Structures are given as structure tokens and as C-alpha cells.
Amino acid sequence: MTDPPESIRARQAEQLLEIGWPDGRIDRLAYRTIRGACPCANCRDEWTGAPILDPATIAADLKLAGMENIGTYAVQFAWSDGHSTGIYTWETLRGLGDTSSLPPPVG
């Protein structure tokens, strides 16, 4: 069980989310990375977990349109491409941070 983040900040200009975890780690996840990892049934095979969504089809200018907490265990993102069915558990976000977190900004 992954503890919920202490903060989730949208950096629209950089097209990334800054996620602060209780252990002090801060992940910087590009919108397109998060969108590409969408766990919903349209983007991922329900049984095998294999991705259906082609990352090349994700808009380069993708923006976050909304964000809603799902209980205490997950968050649902709405994207500027109209997609909003993906529910990301903290575990999923943390896992994305493990593999895909961007370096901190320079300066």
C-alpha cells in the first residue's frame, strides 16, 4: 500500500506534474508519460495489461484539464484531448516516478 502524496502540483507550462511523497521524494512526471500509462480499458488490455494506446498519437501540447481524488487511494485526471477515464492509484504514480521521473529544473 502506497501512502498518498502530500502534494500534487500541475506545472502547465512545463507539461508535468510535481508529486511530493511523504518520504520527501518529489517526482516530476511529464503529462505525456502519465497519459501514456493510462490504466483504463480503452488504453490498456484489461486482461494482459498490454498497452493499446500508441504513444505517438498523444498530443505534443497535451494539457491537464482537471484532477479529482478517488477516495483516498487514487486520482483521476482529465486531459485536454478529452480523455478522462483513467484512474491512477498512488502505487501506479509512484511506480511511474520510479522509472520516468524527470530531473529537477535547472536554476
Q: List residues binding Zn ion (CB under 5 A).
A: 38, 40, 42-43, 86
Whole-number Å distance between alpha carbons of 58 and 104: 24
**Helix or strand or coil: residue 93?**
helix
Cβ closest to Zn ion, residue 15 vs residue 76: 76
Whole-number Å distance between alpha carbons of 102 and 66: 22
- Residue 96: CB atoms within 10 Å: 20
Cβ closest to Zn ion, residue 59 vs residue 105: 59
Cβ at position 86, least distance to Zn ion in Å: 4
Cβ at position 53, least distance to Zn ion in Å: 7
Cβ at position 43, least distance to Zn ion in Å: 3
Cβ closest to Zn ion, residue 30 vs residue 38: 38
Cβ closest to Zn ion, residue 21 vs residue 88: 88
Closest by Cα among 84, 95, 16, 15 to 49: 95
Cβ at position 69, least distance to Zn ion in Å: 18
Query: Residue 47 corresponds to which cell in the numbers above?
Result: 486482461
